[in-house]
Structure 1
Amino acid sequence: MFNVPSLRFWYQKSTLVLLSAFVLGGSACQDKGTMAPVVKSTHQAYDLVGFLDREAQALNTKKAMVRKAVAEDGTVKETKTITSLNWTEELAPFADADINKPALKGLFTVDSSSDALGQQVRRYTAKEDARTNVQEVTYTLDAKGQLVQLDATILQDNMLFGTKKVLHLEAHSGTAPHLVRYHLDETQKLLLMGAERYSVTGEVAQ
C-alpha cells in the first residue's frame, strides 16, 4: 500500500539521488540557508517565510485536514485525506522560494502589474548572471496586501544531475488560516539516466 507522506518527507526522499551525486564529487551553486530559518531579511519581496510560519501555526491550531495526491511520472499513486499533519514540516519546502535572503539582494528584476480582479501581481525574475537556484517567483496580492497566490520555479544543474522544481500555492483573503491549495512538482535528470517526475498536491479542508 502506497503511504502518502508529508510534503517535506517526500521532498527529502526525492532528493536522495541528488545527495548520492554529491558523494561522488558533484557540486552545485546553491543559495545559502535555503532550508534554514531566515535571520535577516532584505525585504526586497513579500515576506514568504513569515506567511508560511503564520499559516503553519494557524493550521496546526485548527488541526486542519488535507486531501493529498502523490504522483510519479504523471501517474497518481494515491489520494488520501490526512487528519493529522505537522504543517510546519509540510510547508517547509516552499521556503526555498524565499528571495529575501541577504545573498540574493539585487539579483532579480521586478515586474509589477494588476490582474483582471485588480490584484497586484509582482514577478521577480533572476538576472542572467545571477548565482541563484531561484529562477522566478510571482506573488499575487489582494487589495490589503495579503498573499493569494505564489508561483515559483527553482533550477539546480551541474555535470551529474539537474532538477526543476515548480511550486504553486493558493490562499484566500478571509480569516486565518488562509491556505487553500498547494502543489510541488519536481523533475530530476541524472547523467546517463532518464528524467523522473514527482508531484504532491494538497487541498486544505475548509
Structure 2
Amino acid sequence: MCSVYSQTTSHPFNPFQTCRQKPRKDEKFAYFCPNFNNPLTLQKPTRFYRATHIPAAVIAFALFCTALPAGIYGCRQQTSGNSVPNEQASGTTIYFNLNRFFNQEITRLENSKTGLQKTATLNQKAETKILKDVNWRKELAAFTASDINKPAWKGKYAADTTRQNGFTTVTYTATDIALRTRLVQLNFKDGSNNPVSVVITNQTNNFVYQTNENLHYQTGGGYNIKASQKVILMQPENFAIAATFVKP
C-alpha cells in the first residue's frame, strides 16, 4: 500500500503489495508503505525529499499505527488502585496484563484456524481480502505493543472503574503526556476474567511527525484500527483497518 508524494507521479493503492525497497538515484520524494501484515508500523521511507535536509533515519522513526476511547458509561464510581476483575492485574504486573490476554487470544485463534476478512483503507481508497492462513501474532502486534506493564511506568496511569448493566469497565489513563499509550479501556462482563472488548489510544508528537492511533478489539468478533500521521513538510495520511473473524 503505497502513498506517493510527488509533483508528477503516483502509485496505485494496493494494501497487499510489497513496496520496492531500493530507490532510484533520481527519486526525491518520500513515500510510505504501510505493512499490511503488521498494521502497527510503516516500513521506513525508501525515498525522501533531499531539499529538506531531514535525515532519512529520523523520518524512518515515523510509525503509522491506532483507538479513541470508545463508550461513555454512566454511574461512574471512582476507585483507587487496580480495581480489575482479573487476577492478571496482581502479582508481577502493575496493571491488567494485555500481553497475556492477547497471547491467549493468539493461541485460541490459531488452534481454531480462524480466518480473517480484512479491509484496508488509505486516504479513502479501500481494498478487501479474505485471509485463511493468518499470522495472528503480526495481526495483533499493535495491541500487544500497547501493553503498559513496564516497571518505569508504575504509578503513571490512573485507574478508574465503572459498573453498569452487568458490565464492568476499567480505564487506565496516562498521567504523563510523554507516554505513547494514553488510554487503555477494558470492558468485562460481570463474572468474567477476560475482557469482551479492549480500546487503546496511542499518540506520538515531536518536531518531525505526529501520529494518532485508535485500536478496538472485540473478543470473538474482530478488530478495528484507525490512524492518522502527519510528517513535517508532507500531507497528512489517514489509514484504517477493519477486520472480522471468519469461522473455518
Which amino acid in structure 1 is aligned with residue 221 of structure 2? V
Query: CA 1:102–1:166 in structure 2 vs 1: closer, same or farther (change >3 Å)?
Result: same
In the alignment, is residue 201 of structure 1 matched against residue 242 of structure 2? yes
Counterpart contact for 1:4–1:68, Cα < 8 Å = no
Structure whose alpha-carbon radius of gyration is higher? 2
Which amino acid in structure 2 is aligned with residue 11 of structure 1? L
- C-alpha displacement of 1:170: 0.6
2:40 aligned residue? 11
Question: TM-score, normalization: structure 1?
Answer: 0.78
- Higher mean C-alpha displacement, 94-103 vs 155-164: 94-103
In the alignment, is residue 140 of structure 1 matched against residue 190 of structure 2? no
Counterpart contact for 1:161–1:188, Cα < 8 Å = yes
Give the 5 Å matches for 1:22-41: 23=56, 25=58
Which amino acid in structure 2 is aligned with residue 157 of structure 1? N
2:161 aligned counterpart, secondary structure: strand
Q: Distance in 1 between matches of 2:197 and 2:105?
A: 14
Counterpart contact for 1:8–1:91, Cα < 8 Å = no
Question: TM-score, normalization: structure 2?
Answer: 0.65
The percent of aligned pairs where both chains have the same amino acid is 24
1:38 aligned residue? none
Higher helix share: 1
Structure 2 residues not aligned, in runs of 5+: 1-12, 18-34, 49-53, 62-90
- C-alpha displacement of 1:104: 1.4
Structure 1 residues not aligned, in runs of 5+: 29-40, 172-178
Which amino acid in structure 2 is aligned with residue 154 of structure 1? N
Aligned-pair RMSD on alpha carbons? 2.8
CA deviation map 1:146-188 (0-9, x unaligned): 21011111011111111111110011xxxxxxx3110111110
1:59 aligned counterpart, secondary structure: helix
Aligned length: 183
- C-alpha displacement of 1:26: 6.8
1:126 aligned residue? 174
